[in-house]
A and B are shown apart, each in its own frame.
Chain A
Amino acid sequence: MEKNRINTVQLMILLFLSRLFNALTYIPGMGSTVSGTAMLFSNLIGAGVLLLLFLPLVVMANRYPERSIVMNLRAGFHGIGSFGSIFYYLFLILLAAQTLAQFQFFMSNAIYPDAAVWVTILPMLLVAVYAAHAGIEGIARAGFLIFIAFCIAFAFIILSSVQNVEMYNVVPLGHKAVQEIMQGVYAVVSRGAELVLFCLLLPYAGKGTGTAAAGFTLLSFSVQEIIGFFILTVLGSFSYSQTFPFFSLASMSEISVFQRMDALYMGIWVFVAFIRLSLLLLLAADIIKFILPDRKSGEHHRFSLAVTVLLVLAAALPACYNMKALSVSYQLLFSGVPVLVLGVLIPAGVLLKMEWNKKKNKERI
C-alpha cells in the first residue's frame, strides 16, 4: 500500500467510530417527543436514507477517484470553489470544538465532577494533535485497534445488561407514530456528519468506497439499534431523565469481577472522542492547503495544524464553560442544514457540474 492511504475496512471503521461518538450520547427522546420504540424504527429508516444520501458521493468517488469534495469543488467552480472550501474548514473546526466541549461536558458531569476544564481537554487535544501529526495511516491503524477494544467492551456491557432487560418497557407506538418516526429519521440524518467526512476522506481511500459506505451504515445502524433496544428495555422511562442513558446502563450492569461497567463506557468514550477529534484536526489542516497553499511547495503550511488546533481551542472554550453555548453549537451543527448542504447538496451539485463540463469538453473535441 502506498503511503497516506487507507483501505476500505479502515475507512469504514473511521466513519463508524466518528458516528459512535454521537451514538454513545444517544438519548431516546432527543429532547423531543420521539419515544424509544419509535426511535428503533427511525434508526432503521434513517439508515436506509443515509445509504441513499451516500449514493452521489460514491458515484463521485468512482468517477473522480482519489479526489476530495474540496478538490472537485475547485476543479468545477474555480474561484467560488476555493471560497466553498472555507465552509468545509469552518464546519470541521466547529465540529471538532463541539466534540471537545461535549467530551468535556461528559467527563466533568459523570466522571470527574471537580476537575478543571483544561485538565480534561488539554491532554485529549495534545494526544489528538499527535495522532493528526502522525497522519491518516496512524489514525486509521489506531482506529482499528480501538474498534477491537470497543467490540470487547461493548459486548461486556451488553451481555452483563441482558439480565436487566424488561420487555414491558417496550410500549406500543402511539397515534402520532408516523410523525414521531419521521422526526427520528430527520434526527438520524441531521447528525450524519460522516457524510461530510466521507467526502473529505476520499483522497486517502482507494477502491471500495461504496462498500465502506454500506458497511459503515450497516454497522452504525446495528450498534445504534442495540444501544436503543437496551436503553429502552433496561432503563425504560428512566432513560428520559438521564443525560447519558447509555452510561447509566453501563453503571447498572455488573459482573462478578467488576462492581460496575461505567469505566468501560468511559474507556470507549475517550477512545472514540480521540479518534474523532484527531480525524477532524487532520482533515481541517488538510483543507488549509487549498485555502492558503504554501507558496513554495503548494502543499501544507508548516503551521497549518497548529493554527487549526488554536482555532478549535478558541471555539471549544466558550462551549466548555457555558452550557448554553454548547447547546447552541449542538443545535447549529446538527440542525440538519450543515450536513445536508455540505454532505449532500454541494457534492451532488459539484458532480452534476463536473459531468456537464466533461460532456461539454467531449462535444468540443
Chain B
Amino acid sequence: MFRFFRDNLRYLRLQKTLSGTKDKEPAATPVKLEKSLNQNIITIMEKFRNSSDFLKREITVGGHAVALLADEGMVDLQIMTEMIFEPLINCGLGGDALAEEVYTYLEETIPIGIDVNDVYDTDSVFSFIMSGFVVILIDGLEKGIAVGAQGFSFRSISEPSSEINLRGSREGFTEPIRINLTMIRRRIKSPQMKFELFKLGKVSSTDVCMVYMNDRVSDRLVREVRQRLRGIDLDIILESGYIQPYLQGKPWSLFSDVGTTERPDTLCAKISEGRIGILVDGTPFALIVPYFFNENFQSIDDYCHKPYFATFIRWIKYISFFMTILLPGVYVAVGTFHPELFPHALLFNIAAAEETTPLPLVLEALVIHFIYEVMHEAGLRLPRPVGHAVSIVGGLVIGDAAVTAGLIGAPMVMVVALTAISSFVVPSLYESVSILRFAFIIIGGMSGLYGITLGLAFLSVNMTKLNHFGAPYLAPISPFSPKAMKDVLIRARWGKISRQDSRVQNFKGTDMDK
C-alpha cells in the first residue's frame, strides 16, 4: 500500500516538474452582482477606493436607478455622452417599467457599439472598466451591460526607430495590442491566421497575444509556447522583454533564440515560415520563436534589392559581425604574441606607434573600448541634440587628443573605429557582440591566437547548444540544410526561394512535427 502512495506521489511530482509550473493558489471566488444597485456600487467603489479617474453617474430610466461606471482616461467621453448617455435620458420608457424592460431597451434599442457584453460579477465589472468599457448597472437586476467605448490616447503609428529600412512599409508596431493585431491581419488576410489572447501578470493583467498560422506552424511548437506563456508567474508585465526569458532555452547563453521586431511586415514574414509571434500590450516590440542566428543578418530590404546586391550586403554583415568581435582581440593577440605575422612594413609602423604609449596593448584596447561603450551609452540615453554633442566630443577626444597626448597609438584608434562602426551593422546582436569583444581582447592579451581560437571553439559549442523548441539555433548552417541556404549566405532570386518550403520545421536537425 505504501508503495502505491509513494508511486503516486512520485508521479505527481514528475507531472509537476514536466509542466514546469508550481501549483497555484486557488483563485478567489468572484463576488456576484446583487439586485440592489446601492449594494453593487458600494462593492465596486470599495475596489476603486482612492482612484480619482473612476467615473460614476447615476440617472433614472423608466423609474429605475441606473448607474454608468467608467474610467475617465480609458473611454471616449464624446462616445459615452452621445451614444449611451443621451439615448438613456431620452428613452420613452414610462415610470412604471420593469427593470428587465430597461435592460432589454439598453441591449436592443440604444445605438451603442458592437462590443457589448453581459456582466454578472464585480471582478468582470472591474476588468471591463479597466479595458475602456462603460458598465451600466440597473437597480433590481443581478447583471449589467458592458459597452465598448474605448478612447484612450496612444502614440500613432510611426516608422520603427530600431529597424530602419530603405524600402518596404514605414509602419511600425505601436503600444496598443489591438492596433498591432490589425496591422498583422491587414497584411495576411487568411483564415489560418490565429490570434490567441492571454491575460498575464497577476497584478497588471496584461494582454499577451500569440500569433501564428495554423497551417504552417508545428503543433508541438504551439503547445510548448502556450504552456510556457501560461507558466509565467509575474505580477506585472510592462514589456515583451519581461516574458522573453521564459521563452529562451538557455538563459546563460550569450545569444538569444528569441527574436524581436518592431515591424509588422517582418513579423508576418516570420509567421508565414511557421514561427510564432508574441505581442504584448503596451510595447511595440514583438517576440519571435524560434529564432535562428542567421536571421540577425536578414532584413526586409534584402527581398526588395536585386539578389546580387542583397547577397553582397549580407556578406558585408557577416564580415562586420566577425570583425566587431574579433578584430580588437586578434590585433592585441598578434601584436603581443605573434608580431612576426604582420608584413614588415606594417609591423614597423605599428611598433613605432605603440612605442610612444605608456600602456601595454591589451590595457590600451580595454581602456579605449570601455570609453567607447561609455560614450555609446551616454549618446543613447541623453536627449538627441546633447547625444550628438557627446559623440563629437568623444570622437575628438579619442580620435585626436588621445593620440596626440601619446596615450593611445593611432593604429588602435583605427581598430576601435572599425570595430564600432561594424557593431552597428548588425544591431540585433549588439548585446552579445559587446561582451564578446571584451572577452576576446582579454583572451587575446593573455594567450594570443591560441586563446582566440579556443574562444571561438567555446563560442561555437555555446551556439550549437541552443536547441530550444527543437530548432537548432545555427540551422540551416549547422546542421547543414543545403536547400535552405538559398537565403542565408546568399539571397537567391524570388523564383528559387518561393519554390522551396521555407517552414522552420523543414530544416535539418529540427525536432518538430511537420
Chain A interfacial positions (CB closer than 8 Å to B): 1-3, 7, 9-10, 107, 111-112, 119-120, 123-124, 127, 130-131, 134, 137-139, 141-142, 144-146, 256-260, 262-263, 266-267, 270-271, 274
- A256–B458 contact, CB under 8 A? no
Residues of A within 8 A of B204 (CB): none
- B457–A274 contact, CB under 8 A? yes
A53 to chain B, nearest CB (A): 28
| Inter-chain pairs besides A137-B464, A138-B461, 13 sampled, C-beta below 8 Å | A7-B508, A9-B480, A112-B448, A123-B447, A131-B461, A134-B464, A141-B474, A142-B461, A144-B480, A146-B460, A263-B338, A263-B449, A266-B453
A-B pairs with lowest CB-CB distance, top 5: A141-B464, A142-B460, A270-B453, A144-B478, A141-B478
A261 to chain B, nearest CB (A): 9
A266 and B450 contact, Cβ closer than 8 Å, known pairs A3-B511, A127-B457: yes
Residues of B85-125 at the interface with A, using a CB-CB cut-off of 8 Å, are: none
A104 to chain B, nearest CB (A): 11
Chain B interfacial positions (CB closer than 8 Å to A): 334, 337-338, 340-344, 347, 447-451, 453-454, 456-458, 460-461, 464-465, 467, 472, 474, 477-480, 508-511
A134 and B461 contact, Cβ closer than 8 Å, known pairs A263-B338, A271-B453: yes
B269 to chain A, nearest CB (A): 25
- B458–A130 contact, CB under 8 A? yes
C-alpha spacing A146/B477, complex, angstroms? 12
A240 to chain B, nearest CB (A): 25
B451 to chain A, nearest CB (A): 7
Tell me the total A-B contact number using a CB cutoff of 8 A.
Answer: 98
Interface centre among A2, A137, A141, A144 (most CB of B within 10 A): A141
A259 and B341 contact, Cβ closer than 8 Å, known pairs A7-B508, A107-B450: yes
B166 to chain A, nearest CB (A): 31
- Nearest residue in B to A145 (C-beta to C-beta)? B460
A2 and B465 contact, Cβ closer than 8 Å, known pairs A145-B477, A271-B453: no
- B464–A270 contact, CB under 8 A? no
A259 and B453 contact, Cβ closer than 8 Å, known pairs A1-B479, A141-B464, A145-B460: no
C-alpha spacing A259/B448, complex, angstroms? 17
A15 to chain B, nearest CB (A): 17
- Nearest residue in B to A254 (C-beta to C-beta)? B343
Residues of B within 8 A of A260 (CB): 340-341
Residues of B within 8 A of A138 (CB): 461, 464-465
Q: Could you jot down 5 A-B contacts, CB within 8 Å?
A: A2-B511, A130-B458, A139-B461, A141-B464, A259-B343
Residues of B within 8 A of A262 (CB): 341
- B454–A123 contact, CB under 8 A? yes
B506 to chain A, nearest CB (A): 12
A130 and B480 contact, Cβ closer than 8 Å, known pairs A111-B450, A256-B343, A267-B449: no
A47 to chain B, nearest CB (A): 25
A137 to chain B, nearest CB (A): 7
C-alpha spacing A353/B460, complex, angstroms? 42
- B451–A123 contact, CB under 8 A? yes
Residues of A within 8 A of B454 (CB): 123-124, 127, 270, 274
